[in-house]
Amino acid sequence: MMKIAVLAWGSLVWDPRELHAAAPFAPNGPLLPIEFCRVSGDGRLTLVIDEAFGIVCKTYSAPSAIQSLDEAVENLRGRERMSSAGEVGFVESSSGKQSDVAMRRHPEAIATIAAWSTANGFDAAIWTALESNFGEHGKGGEPFSVTAATRYLERLAGQDAAKFDRALDYIRKVPPEVDTPVRDEVTKRWPA
């Protein structure tokens, strides 16, 4: 039986859906570099750990109601609608085992998460380990920057008002502890 922490900084906090958590998310997770530099399938700018562009922010955690690491990873994969469990980051304190994908995408964050997990009495921690796709064709289409993210949202506003509204709604719902340069710019440009 393992004690597993689920880490969150975006929609998991307010919309866990089928995620099996033993308690609500609380703003007690590790400090991680986060930014709105991924474009989701529905056009929203979403948050990912990004060691190049992310700003260190307080994250949230909740204890998983599942006590098997493999099952907890699969539960998070399902909630996040990811095609592969390999997109879920994990660290396991006792064995030192960690996600290869997360290690490639954000190695410094893994060390922070591992230390936080041990210090808080967890046997393991899991999180969504997606990477920025902003520069890809059909997404942002240019190297990520706050200006490029704003330009992307302006284009979205001109092309699809419903997608733009969903994008703003997501940014506005993100917990206040996740205060990034993109969020600041969006708040100035499109006040609620």
Answer yes or no: is pLDDT of 84 > 90.
no
In a 10 Å sphere around its CB, with 0-12 CB exposed, 13-18 middle and 19+ buried, how is residue 53 labelled? Answer: buried
Write down the mean pLDDT value for the chain.
Answer: 96
Domain spans of the chain? 1-192
Write the pLDDT tens digit of every residue in 15-74.
999 999 999 999 999 999 999 999 999 999 999 999 999 999 999 999 999 999 999 999
pLDDT over 70, % of the chain: 100
Gap between the Cα atoms of 1 and 191, Å rounded: 47
Answer yes or no: is pLDDT of 86 > 90.
no
Query: Residue 190: its pLDDT value, please?
Result: 96
Query: Residue 13: its pLDDT value, please?
Result: 97
Q: How confident is the model at residue 75 (pLDDT cuts 50, 70, 90)?
A: very high
Q: How confident is the model at residue 150 (pLDDT cuts 50, 70, 90)?
A: very high
Answer yes or no: is pLDDT of 83 > 90.
no
Gap between the Cα atoms of 44 and 41, Å rounded: 8
Gap between the Cα atoms of 5 and 121, Å rounded: 9
Write the pLDDT tens digit of every residue in 153-182.
999 999 999 999 999 999 999 999 999 999
Write the pLDDT tens digit of every residue in 118-130.
999 999 999 999 9
What dihedral do alpha carbons 156, 165, 36, 185 form, nearest 10°? 90
Query: Residue 192: its pLDDT value, please?
Result: 81
| Token pair for 155 | 């284009």
